[in-house]
Chain A
Amino acid sequence: MKNVFLAVSLRILLFVALAVMVFDFLRVEQLFIQMDRGLLDGFSVDISNWPGYMLLGILFLFIIANLLHFWRLRKQTNTDIRDFFTFEYDATDERAIDHTRKAVSYAFSGLLIYSFFVIGSFMFIPNYFLDHIWFPVFAVASIPISGLLIYAVSFTVLQRT
Chain B
Amino acid sequence: MRVIKNRVKELRARFDLTQGVLAERVGVTRQTIVALEKGSYTPSLLLAMNIAEVFKMPIEDIFFKEDAK
Residues of A within 8 A of B (CB): 77-78, 92-96, 159, 161
Residues of B within 8 A of A (CB): 27-29, 31-32, 35, 40-41, 43-44, 46-47
B32 touches A95 (CB 8 A): yes
Please name the 8 residue pairs, one residue from A and one from B, whose CB atoms are nearest each other, closest first: A93-B28, A95-B32, A93-B29, A93-B32, A94-B44, A92-B29, A95-B41, A94-B47
A95 touches B27 (CB 8 A): no
Closest chain A CB from B15 CB (angstroms): 20
Closest chain A CB from B29 CB (angstroms): 5
B31 touches A159 (CB 8 A): yes
A-B contact sample (12 more), CB < 8 A, given A93-B29, A94-B28, A94-B32: A77-B27, A78-B28, A78-B46, A93-B27, A93-B32, A94-B43, A94-B46, A95-B28, A95-B31, A95-B32, A95-B41, A161-B40
